Structure 1
């Protein structure tokens, strides 16, 4: 009940009008939309009398129709209703069988008459009177109930508003559950969260958020409460699932982006290639702000933080209009004028392709003026552009920040990742080439680019790009060095060392050898024969030599015995076969292998790569893709893999075409150091080691 306290507070002051609801349910059948007999004694009496009268009328007419049939006046007995009165059918040639009857109607051919017999006239008249009395009584009952509802109108309207509020709250919760969302925090509302961020230097801090509209196609239908087994909540989280889970993901989800915007930043200029995701990234921030204000969770990680924007003002898309005599540029500027008029110190402004549709020099000048104005009068402004001059505003004004959409020069394809603090190129010629544009025209365009671009500008851009590359390499080198230092520290403090002898109780007290230093994820790799097993470091404890079944004299120098308590199934990597039976419980001593040059090289090579632990980040699923599409996805995954990383490639076990494509790419790709084909432990999966 405590879980629903906040929801119950919504209905705290509501009058549920139980008495009125019971009264309506007593009088009216909601499913059939009829007034029930029990609504009033008079209605019940009228309906009872009407049923008796109808029984007499039908009995008489059936008897009369049978006599007509026996006399040859009709082919089969027929009792029907015409002009709201019960009658019988009779051939026109036998009309004389009912000499005093009243003809109500005839068939279209005129061969059959529908006659009301004389003795049925009074019964039909009674049916009409009782029918009218019944309708009058029903209207009287409905009138009384309507007056009761009108008297409680204010309470009913208030209750409906609260029910709508409750329904929206439940819908927000269901959406958060469906997308695996997390709660956003506003800067003004959470002093506790502020204390977590040292110095509170970020005004917008959203990590790995995905565009909600692009994310929805990759999610399956959310199970209902009945499908999930009753009243318990549905306990699953999208972010805890593997990226190759076919039961959950239908299509590939969008690439998440990070928003890290300093408090001092007022304008963010996003540049990059066409179709690179600039507009989608900007829209993601706008939607995240709207959803946060609406009380919705965000499809992000950790604890998203952003300001409370009183307005979210956007100019996105082409607003030209022949009806209103607006060109692309005039429509664009008209929207910006309205934004400038209403923007406040707490507003978020989003402008797509600012200053486009006119002369580039004038567009840059106008855009610069607009952005400087918005830097003074809005909380945050995010714009996209292809103008390199706008990216240089950061050098003269600390309130400006740059961001670029990453573009892979090797594949000539955008990666849809955002690089903060960088400037991007449009790469229009590269994109045109990738889609099959005429090469002669592209060559001519390249010549014009060289003629139109000043030499000093090229040199400046080249030096800036080189300096950024050098800085990036330096940072990567520092990160690698820090990782090595961390690894050395872990080795110094680790009780378990390489070549240590351990007991594997879950293999019947078999003895194995530690073959790799403890990994960052807390596991240690040990080897028994050709089998490598990863076990948790905190599940190990040293066994003193005196308590071992082997005396110290029988152990090679430098080795130690380690006892492992394993409570869960260990992850195993087999080379060519699967261990599917336990060996005898006899304790065996596995001696250290003799070191040779080849063995030392293999150990160094294995230590150069990260732990072979499969996660969603280092897994690419190519099942169901065509060969060309699979090749492209694999190359992108290899390029995006970190140095000295391990990549798990799922190609399935179908026709083998995708597998052969994978092996061909891995053999020829310069970043692939080696790869291991599928094994009985990894059917349909090839493991690649990236340089």
Structure 2
């Protein structure tokens, strides 16, 4: 917004006001905007004297010849209109015309007459055109012929004078092109600084420090849509190269990936990040400002990559983008993968994703990958370069909290989410039965062969529970089994309780 009221809102006036009110108060801005000083005031005033700021029309005062031509044309046009309108009314009264209407044909004002009534006009009238049916003739009455001729001449003279003025101004701009580019660069730099500052005020942003190996952005939030924002903590332990983010659909996994990507890119563009102050410390100072890692590139495979035009399925779209990521990344790159290994057979997809994450652990600075594959969640147990993070999900409201719980594994909660989104309750109930039966088969298959007497009967001495979203559900009941420790976690969390 212009800092001072301007009738024409001309850039010359706005630049001068900006220089006086703002730039000169800050030495750094004054150095940055050095190209504005003495920014061709003569050329600017000449342009604004000739060109209307509102619609870009060449003004009458651009030259005396243009002003004279337009004045004579206006006078002639007024006389022409009044005369042709009187002829149109006269022809309508005589029944020679359907209505008292003035039309334009071949850039001349004329009247529309019925076929065969041309003789109602005086001698010397000119037929300009006929309708497609031949029922209407468009006539220039003899008294208006010289007025129409004068309009054509004056219009041509006006066009020629406007072209001459624009050519003169264009030549003046071309003569000062180098200087104009300097002014444009300086104004652009100031505009960018202003936008950064206004964004920082809007989002409550703070300046960050850059670190090379670690990521530590406490309580970072990125306002992508409408406020208020939700804070997300990113504190990746030293030495960790791959973080697998797990949790339910609609739980905020992809939002966390996007938040980190923006948090890595925004400081490189000179933007402040909206970070909440550390409790008890107040707003951070430049000496204890939060830190983010410096990445040379942020490479992302987020969203569905299918394309009908390119004959790409969801899986092939992901593969194509990941292939490009592998070709471009360096040891200083951040890689973001959404739903790694999805869109194909779960077993093969999990295997491919596992191998991909292992390769990225060697070749990228940091990789964040969202997944529902259980095998990817187990990578952290065998390799210190891997770390798990689960998104917190409020089961009561079925809404994400956008909190990352580092070191934890988030449950998918697919049935709870489907139920919360209004899915058919009968279908959800049947799905729960199928799911429990499927999990029972997993547990049974994990037991030794001589424990095959385990069943789903309710007469029991022990009970196997499955923890689903923190809530225990009875999975199996049967006789005691000395090999109950062989019931492995696999894709579930199973606890064996012996009553009494």
Give the TM-score normalised by structure 2: 0.66
1:315 Cα deviation after fit:
1.8
Map 1:106-117 onto structure 2 (within 5 A): 115-117=141-143
1:102 Cα deviation after fit:
2.9
- What is the SS of the residue equivalent to 2:266? helix
Partner of 1:268: 243
2:182, 2:256 → 1: CA distance? 40
Is 1:21 matched with 2:44? yes
1:464 Cα deviation after fit:
9.6
Preserved CA contact (<8 Å) 1:65 1:79: no
2:347, 2:309 → 1: CA distance? 29
Is 1:166 matched with 2:190? yes
Q: CA RMSD in A?
A: 4.6
Q: 1:85 to 1:392 in 2, by over 3 A?
A: closer
Map 1:295-444 onto structure 2 (within 5 A): 295-302=270-277, 303-320=289-306, 326-358=312-344, 360-407=346-393, 415-431=401-417, 436=425, 437-444=427-434
Preserved CA contact (<8 Å) 1:89 1:114: no
1:4 Cα deviation after fit:
5.3
- What is the SS of the residue equivalent to 1:29? coil
1:65 Cα deviation after fit:
7.0
Q: For residues 413-469 of structure 1, what are the alpha-carbon distances to aligned partners after superposition, in whole Å with 9 as ceiling and x for unaligned?
A: 654422112223334455456653443442232132132143547566999999xxx
Q: For residues 276-334 of structure 1, what are the alpha-carbon distances to aligned partners after superposition, in whole Å with 9 as ceiling and x for unaligned?
A: 22222122111221222222232322344211211111122333456656554444334
Q: For residues 153-204 of structure 1, what are the alpha-carbon distances to aligned partners after superposition, in whole Å with 9 as ceiling and x for unaligned?
A: 343344434434433333333333333333333226xxxxxxxxxxxxx822
2:304, 2:189 → 1: CA distance? 36
Q: 1:388 to 1:144 in 2, by over 3 A?
A: same
1:412, 1:63 → 2: CA distance? 73
Partner of 1:182: 206
- What is the SS of the residue equivalent to 2:218? strand
Give 5+ residue unaligned stretches, structure 2: 1-21, 278-288, 447-483, 496-500
Preserved CA contact (<8 Å) 1:91 1:113: no
1:411 Cα deviation after fit:
7.1
2:429, 2:356 → 1: CA distance? 39
- What is the SS of the residue equivalent to 2:383? coil
Partner of 1:142: 166
Give 5+ residue unaligned stretches, structure 1: 189-201, 220-252, 467-691
- What is the SS of the residue equivalent to 2:164? helix
Partner of 2:438: 448
Map 1:33-44 onto structure 2 (within 5 A): 33-44=56-67
1:358 Cα deviation after fit:
4.7
1:80, 1:461 → 2: CA distance? 85
Partner of 2:220: 209
1:147, 1:98 → 2: CA distance? 51
Preserved CA contact (<8 Å) 1:73 1:90: no
1:40, 1:104 → 2: CA distance? 38
1:409, 1:89 → 2: CA distance? 77
Count of aligned positions:
413
Map 1:531-680 onto structure 2 (within 5 A): none
Preserved CA contact (<8 Å) 1:82 1:114: no
Preserved CA contact (<8 Å) 2:439 2:492: no
Q: 1:459 to 1:136 in 2, by over 3 A?
A: closer
2:73, 2:308 → 1: CA distance? 69
Preserved CA contact (<8 Å) 1:65 1:89: no
1:152, 1:294 → 2: CA distance? 31
1:32, 1:338 → 2: CA distance? 47
Partner of 2:478: none
Preserved CA contact (<8 Å) 2:118 2:137: no
Preserved CA contact (<8 Å) 1:345 1:379: yes
Preserved CA contact (<8 Å) 1:211 1:280: no
Q: For residues 359-394 of structure 1, what are the alpha-carbon distances to aligned partners after superposition, in whole Å with 9 as ceiling and x for unaligned?
A: 555544443333232222211111122233333333
1:58, 1:266 → 2: CA distance? 81
| Candidates 271, 279, 286, aligned match of 2:254 | 279
